[in-house]
Amino acid sequence: MAARSGSRTDDSLTPLARAEGVTRRYRRGSEPGRVGRLFGRSTPPDVTALEDVSLTITQKEIVGLAGPSGSGKSTLLHLLAGLELPSEGTVTFQGTDLGSLSTRKRTRLRLEHVGIVFQHFHLLDSLSARGNVALPLVELGVSKSERRHRATELLERVGLEDRVTHRPGELSGGEQQRVAIARALVTDPTLVIADEPTGELDTETGLTVLEQFERVADDRAVVLASHDQPTLDIADRVVRLCDGRIDEEATVRL
Amino acid sequence: MTPAGRLLRTGRRLWAAGGLTIAQLRHHKLRLGLAVLGIVLAVLATTLLAGVGLGVLDTGQAQFDAADRDLWVTAGETRLTAAGGGGFENSLQNSRKVADEMGTHDGVDNTVPMSFETVYVATGPDEDFRTFIATGVSSGGSIVTINEGEDLRGDPHYAGGTYEGEMTHELLLDRETARDLNVSIGDTLNVGGSLAAARENEFTVVGYSPTYERMLGTPTVTIPLSELHQITSNTGTEPATFITVSVDDDADVEAVQADLQEAHPEYEIRTNSEQLEATLQEQVLVLAAAIALVVLAVGAGIALTVALLGLVVYQQRQEFAALKAQGISASTLVVTVIGQGLIIGTLGGVIAVLLTAPMVDVLNRLAALVVGFDGLVQTAEPIYLGGLAIAIGIGTVAAAIAGWRVGRTPVLEHL
């Protein structure tokens, strides 16, 4: 599968999201409380998921994050989407330091500017495909007719025009992931992040989903994390991570 | 955005959140059914246990109201006795003489000694004897209500204190006791304070009276006071539980009470409500148990409701986390969760309240069958309202707290 080509314009070089000197540490287990400290329970050690990582995502480019399990791919995705904040360093989105925003404002920023595709789809079983796709528009206060129209249109674009009223339980894995892709795009985000988007799918289905993902992503910036080479093949460049650091040698520009 | 536009947007969000609430509940029908069932049981536990607590107090009040007397004279404590399933201690000695003396006071219309004794009863001298409470009354119609049959023919055996008058050998039963003993008007029963006395004394059922069954809340046989004293070998001391006093229509009850108290300082003379209060004060354990039942019932209902709705929300934590990751605000999630709590709480509360009355009836029938107490469980409007408040109010608050926690939990914790 060929990488998206010929889409770059001058504004495509404008930084959309940037991680600068980002380190993310997690604590193994919970902090001891007063009683815990009284009984000599010590603070659990930290584990470093990312260390001093810098990466710039420009408009309209597709960036692949590669690397073995535990290398920090998902953590970097989460930081770029504002799902969590770095322990050190800064992450900016359209020039705004995400660390300076409240949780509520970061949630709003994701709603308006970031689409997310999960490995496990995370669709609501109680809603139809159209209901799932339209859900983010609820938060934006879009009218019902407009929600239905936009959701139906996106489902048609991912080839699910005959599955609009089906619930997730009535759809195959590939169809569910296409619904999730449509949902990620329904608010017309400037950045789409996808964490192992084909991880739950067989090879053939994965390729079909990727083709449609690439097609409907249009000129949006996409960051996707994957172990899977065919998935990474749609990227303009691939950044390899190893033990929480960017392996500069392995970063490939396609 | 203009304020009207913002309002419209908020309205659409709320409407859609409501739709999401309904969709979530409808899709998970088993979970909804179990959650509603849980709330129904929690509320029923509350209303029924509170009903038992109320029943204890209500039965006490009814006892005194049913007697329709103005003043109650006792000597010392008026404790309920465990023997025979209820009744009071007969601590007032020489009750006839005392009653006669009190009857001469200004403003007193009449005085009636009343004795409650445990007696043996059987349908024949060779049948199995059972214990019942016997009420001894010194006159008939003025204080006993007759449902069917005839009243007692007075108390001729007393014969001015000689106990040489004719024994009527008549008694009254409440219908429940008559059914229990499988006898009807005209049948005979052997009654006595001892097995030997019971085998010798045969009484005829002449009528059905609910008066003392209601007053004591237990099956009773009602017989003339002198005959009760005779068959329980108490003619020497003529003990009574109370002497009840009716005052003249135009007399001031409190003034008569004060006069009698001054003349008879050795006795406690109380009005209906004072007597009930005094009786209940001496039943600290009973009262404590009743209050504990109500508190435990309400506490258990609240705890169950909170736990249930917390679990319902917890089961959806991954779905909510995914929604939040996509930018759905915490407030929309909280509205969705509150909606679920409100619907589950309302459904559970309404069903439980509708089931309370028939359940009370079943419990009362069961209680009457097993322990002989009628009206053990009582319901009242505040109990129904309390049940609804727990289900809807606490349910909604519990869901709101659970939703608030979901809103605050870091997104990645559940993804």
Local confidence band at A199 (pLDDT 50, 70, 90 cut-offs): confident
For residue A25, tell me if it sits in a domain: no
Rounded to 5 degrees, what are φ and ψ at B92? -100, 110
Test mutation, A139, A143, A188, chain B, max B CBs within 10 A:
A139
Contact call for A142 and B332, based on CB within 8 A: no
User: Chain B within 8 Å of A141 (Cβ-Cβ)?
Assistant: yes
For residue A239, tell me if it sits in a domain: yes
Test mutation, A77, A118, A124, A170, chain B, max B CBs within 10 A:
A124
- Contact (Cβ atoms closer than 8 angstroms) between residue B194 and residue B131: no
Collect all residues of chain B within an 8 Å Cβ-Cβ radius of residue A109.
327
CATH number, domain of A64, equals: 3.40.50.300
| A–B CB contacts, 8 A cutoff, strictly below | 86
List the single residue in B with minimal CA-CA distance to A168.
B27
CB atoms within 10 A of CB B141: 11
The mean pLDDT of A100-117, rounded to a whole number, is: 92
Q: What is the amino acid identity at position B288?
A: A
Collect all residues of chain A within an 8 Å Cβ-Cβ radius of residue B10.
141
The pLDDT of residue A23:
95
Domain interval for residue A182: 59-85+99-253
Number of domains in chain A: 1
User: Cα distance from A78 to chain B (closest Cα, Å)?
Assistant: 9
Contact call for A136 and B327, based on CB within 8 A: yes
CB atoms within 10 A of CB A89: 19
User: Cα distance from B57 to chain A (closest Cα, Å)?
Assistant: 46
Collect all residues of chain B within an 8 Å Cβ-Cβ radius of residue A170.
none
Collect all residues of chain A within an 8 Å Cβ-Cβ radius of residue B329.
104, 107-108, 111, 139
- Contact (Cβ atoms closer than 8 angstroms) between residue B117 and residue B133: yes
The pLDDT of residue B67:
61
Higher-pLDDT residue of B190 and A29 is: B190
Local confidence band at A249 (pLDDT 50, 70, 90 cut-offs): low
Query: Which residues are within 8 A (CB) of B223 and not within 5 positions of it... i.e. 6 or more apart?
Result: B134, B135, B136, B137, B152, B170, B171, B172, B191, B203
Whole-model pTM: value is: 0.66
Q: Which of A81, A109, A126 sits opposite B24 (nearest CB)?
A: A126
Q: What are the angstrom distances between the C-alpha of B77 and each of B81, B95, B267, B319, B414?
A: 11, 16, 10, 65, 65
- Contact (Cβ atoms closer than 8 angstroms) between residue A135 and residue B328: yes
The pLDDT of residue A6:
45
The pLDDT of residue A2:
46
The pLDDT of residue B276:
65
Distance CA B164, CA B228 (A): 14
User: Chain A within 8 Å of B182 (Cβ-Cβ)?
Assistant: no
For residue A109, tell me if it sits in a domain: yes
Contact call for A124 and B23, based on CB within 8 A: yes
In this prediction, does ipTM exceed 0.90?
Answer: no
Distance CA B18, CA B14 (A): 6
How many Å is the Cα radius of gyration of chain B? 30
Q: With a CB-CB cutoff of 8 Å, which residues 213-252 of chain A face chain B?
A: none
Distance CA B211, CA B69 (A): 13
Local confidence band at A7 (pLDDT 50, 70, 90 cut-offs): very low
Contact call for A104 and B329, based on CB within 8 A: yes
The mean pLDDT of A93-115, rounded to a whole number, is: 92
A13 has pLDDT over 70: no
Collect all residues of chain A within an 8 Å Cβ-Cβ radius of residue B328.
107, 111, 135-136, 138-139
User: Cα distance from A195 to chain B (closest Cα, Å)?
Assistant: 12
Local confidence band at A32 (pLDDT 50, 70, 90 cut-offs): confident
User: Chain B within 8 Å of A166 (Cβ-Cβ)?
Assistant: no
User: Chain A within 8 Å of B9 (Cβ-Cβ)?
Assistant: yes
DSSP state of B315: T
Contact call for A139 and B26, based on CB within 8 A: no
Residues A137/A138/A142/A144 CA torsion (nearest 10 deg)? 110
Q: Where are the domains of chain B?
A: 13-60+286-414, 76-266
For residue A4, tell me if it sits in a domain: no
User: Chain A within 8 Å of B328 (Cβ-Cβ)?
Assistant: yes
Distance CA A194, CA A185 (A): 12
User: Cα distance from B16 to chain A (closest Cα, Å)?
Assistant: 6
Test mutation, B317, B326, B328, B411, chain A, max A CBs within 10 A:
B326
Contact call for A104 and B17, based on CB within 8 A: no
Distance CA A254, CA A4 (A): 10
The pLDDT of residue B248:
86
Q: What percent of chain A has pLDDT over 70?
A: 93
For residue A6, tell me if it sits in a domain: no
Least confident span in A186-195, A201-210, B20-29, B117-126: A201-210
DSSP reduced 3-state for B288: helix
Give first-to-last CA distance, chain B, whole Å.
Answer: 34
Contact call for A107 and B327, based on CB within 8 A: yes
Contact call for B332 and A138, based on CB within 8 A: yes
Q: Average pLDDT for consecutive 10-residue bins of chain B (415 residues)? A: 78 82 86 87 85 72 65 71 52 85 87 87 90 80 72 85 89 87 92 91 90 73 90 86 85 87 87 69 66 76 79 84 88 88 91 92 81 73 88 84 81 76
User: Cα distance from A118 to chain B (closest Cα, Å)?
Assistant: 9
Collect all residues of chain B within an 8 Å Cβ-Cβ radius of residue A136.
326-328
The pLDDT of residue B280:
61
Collect all residues of chain B within an 8 Å Cβ-Cβ radius of residue A75.
none
User: Chain A within 8 Å of B7 (Cβ-Cβ)?
Assistant: no
List the single residue in B with minimal CA-CA distance to A193.
B326
Helices (H), chain A: 34-38, 73-80, 103-113, 129-139, 144-157, 173-185, 203-216, 229-232
Strand duo B148-149 + B220-224: pairing: unpaired
